[in-house]
Amino acid sequence: MTVILPRPADGAPQVFPTPRHTLAGMAFPGFPHDAADFYAELELDNSTGFWQANRERYEAGVRGPMTALLEGLEDEFGPGRVFRPNRDLRFSADKSPYKTHQGGYVSTGSRTGWYAEVSADGFRLGGGCYQMDAPTLAAYREAVAGPRGATLERVVAELRGAGWEVGGDQLKTAPRGWSRDHERIDLLRHRTISALRWIEDADIVTTPALLDEVRTGWREVRPLLDWLRPVVQG
């Protein structure tokens, strides 16, 4: 799904004139329309030259607001981090130097946390578990198959019923040692698991109201994180 941030009536891009460092510690102002424009242009010209020429746009319209958003949520969810814009190219055939989205993250454990992201497509939020090594994955599957698995089934069903997309990296078949007919085979196939959704009302993204929207959404995802945390902490 694509959600394009609307532009002002006069068609001119809205850009925050305030540099990033002055946004820190201030109330979240919303993301400007230029945040989506910046990433749309970066998708067309993902080069060091474009980045250097537009770095102030990124700082003022992307990184600054994301920093302010996370600071506005810190009282309830804890301190967050804004991901670096550079891609890790070491093991990638795609040598584009920059990510085409800006993520923000609040950790709830070694592998779990809440997530927020702005890009040319709009804004999405959610949370879950982003990585499981072999021992952690084994512990997760044992928990899914055991009595606690019924709770995860209920949590996932409630999230989907509320409009969340519950997904992640999944095997196409049953994991080794597990039957394809297992009653929770869909959950057992997961190698990562998360709940994500887009902000449907794009006008909210450009206003301070986005902070409360994210706060409400992260509260809805909390039961998934609460289930995952003791399982994947090892």
Q: What is the pLDDT of residue 19?
A: 35
What phi and psi, each to the nearest 5 degrees, are found at residue 231?
-80, -40
- Bin 210: left if φ > 0, else alpha if -120 < ψ < 50, else beta: alpha
Q: Which residues contact 33 (CB under 8 A, 6 or more apart)?
A: 5, 6, 7, 8, 13, 14, 206
Q: What is the pLDDT of residue 234?
A: 53
Q: What is the pLDDT of residue 50?
A: 97
Distances from the Cα of 226 to the Cαs of 70, 168, 214, in angstroms? 20, 17, 18
Q: What is the pLDDT of residue 7?
A: 41
pTM metric for this prediction? 0.86
- For the chain, list residues with pLDDT below 70: 1-26, 234
What phi and psi, each to the nearest 5 degrees, are found at residue 148?
-70, -15
Q: What is the pLDDT of residue 110?
A: 83
Q: What is the pLDDT of residue 26?
A: 65
Q: What is the pLDDT of residue 25?
A: 54
Q: What is the pLDDT of residue 21?
A: 35
Q: Which residues of 168-186 are buried (b: 16+ CB within 10 A; e: fewer)?
A: beeeeeebeebeeebebbe
Average pLDDT, the chain: 89
Classify the C-alpha dihedral 172-92-35-61 as positive or negative.
positive
Using CA atoms, how far apart are residues 28 and 154, in angstroms rounded to an integer? 34
Q: What is the pLDDT of residue 163?
A: 96
Residue written as tokens 């084994």?
138
Q: How many CB atoms lie within 10 A of CB 200?
A: 10
Using CA atoms, how far apart are residues 36 and 120, in angstroms rounded to an integer? 4
Q: How many CB atoms lie within 10 A of CB 150?
A: 12
Using CA atoms, how far apart are residues 117 and 217, in angstroms rounded to an integer? 13
Helices (H), 118-175: 134-145, 149-161
Chain segment 1-60, per-residue pLDDT in tens: 434 444 434 444 333 333 333 345 568 999 999 999 999 999 999 999 999 999 999 999
